[in-house]
Amino acid sequence: MHSRRALLYMPGDNWKMITKSVTLGVDSICMDMEDGTAVNKKAEARAMIAKALRELDFGASEKLARINSVGSGWEQDDIDAVLPYRPDGIVIPKVESFEQVEWAGKIIEAAELKFGWPLNSIRVLIGVETAKGILNLKEIAAHPRLDGIIFGGEDFAASIGATRTKDATELLYARQAVVAACAAFGLQAIDIVHIDFKDAEGLRVEAQQGAGFGFSGKQIIHPNQVQVTQEAFTPSDAMVAEARRIVETFEASQKEGKGAYSLDGKMIDMPLVKNALKVLERVKPDSGR
């Protein structure tokens, strides 16, 4: 799975931002036809994203296109306009049911067959960002085409009538529900946008909190946010060293016949070792989570 520590959006009708995005070394680039694009610019965004997919070299960055939600009336034209130019993945926002993912999955499979691309090579990421979407996570997350779930904090707050705050306590339940569903189905979990793009310190705190919750990455909206975010979702040298130490001492203690043992005055047993292994997994090159 492609690493998606930072997933950068830009309006699909903004050529300047699209061309800038490929120079930033960001993990994923998501050209948007949904809420980042004005209602009277949808057609322009479709054409421009198709052009970008045809003409630009995205380097190591993943190229994604976000369509409008299934049921908006725009989704078919959106997907038809960009799919033939082979994006790495399609992002579907505001998903509330398994069937909505299935709708896209069928269209993508037909394109893979028609163009002779490997089956399942075009990935799907979905936004779950409404009350219904959160309630139906268990069914939705089981879709085999999925790589990850993106949690939209602003949309979710609007959906439940919550007031957004800096520490995001109003989103706690939904964020953790998304992380749990993703862990259960082996998916990446992609956290909320920090919309105050000049506030690097606030972004760092929020990104580290998300990483601590178990998210594998975060949505971003501005070039300033790339580095801080990618760093926050890369385990630090200290975390990696600590994880290695836990794994090594655990193996030794198992040989001595001890399941639980003490290290620096703390108890270590199997769950801590599993967590340490997760940290080590995340530093493998191109690991998904």
- For ligand COA, the closer of residues 10 and 268 by Cβ is 10
- For Mg ion, the closer of residues 74 and 250 by Cβ is 74
- For ligand COA, the closer of residues 14 and 188 by Cβ is 14
Residue with nearest beta carbon to Mg ion: 152
Residue with nearest beta carbon to ligand COA: 36
The least distance separating Mg ion from the CB of residue 91, rounded to whole angstroms, comes to 10
- For ligand COA, the closer of residues 26 and 50 by Cβ is 26
Footprint of ligand COA on this chain (CB under 6 A)? 8-11, 16-17, 20-21, 32, 35-36, 193, 197, 221-223
Q: Does the CA dihedral 57-211-266-173 come out positive or negative?
A: negative
Q: How many residues bind Mg ion (CB under 5 A)?
A: 2
Q: Which stretch binds Mg ion (CB under 5 A): 48-56, 147-155, 183-191, 219-227?
A: 147-155
What the block records as the tokens of 35 is: 């809420």
Residue 214 sits in the site that holds Mg ion (CB under 5 A): no
**112: which residues sit within 8 A by CB, 6+ positions away?**
118, 119, 120, 121, 122
Catalytic annotation on 269? Answer: yes
Residue 8 interface partner, choices ligand COA, Mg ion, none, CB cut-off 5-8 Å depending on type: ligand COA
Looking only at residues 153 through 212 of this chain, which bind Mg ion when binding is defined by CB under 5 A?
Answer: 155
What the block records as the tokens of 148 is: 């990850």
Kind of pairing, strands 266-268 and 261-263?
Answer: antiparallel
**239: which residues sit within 8 A by CB, 6+ positions away?**
279
- For Mg ion, the closer of residues 194 and 282 by Cβ is 194
Helix (H, G, I), strand (E, B) or coil at 127: strand
Q: Which stretch binds Mg ion (CB under 5 A): 150-158, 178-186, 206-214, 281-289?
A: 150-158
Residue 155 interface partner, choices ligand COA, Mg ion, none, CB cut-off 5-8 Å depending on type: Mg ion
One DSSP character per residue, 172-197 reads: HHHHHHHHHHHHHHT-EEEE-----T
**54: which residues sit within 8 A by CB, 6+ positions away?**
85
Helix (H, G, I), strand (E, B) or coil at 217: strand
Question: Using CA atoms, how far apart are residues 61 and 88, in angstroms rounded to an integer?
Answer: 10
What the block records as the tokens of 184 is: 């259960």
Chain positions contacting Mg ion, by CB under 5 A: 152, 155
Which residues carry out catalysis?
Answer: 269
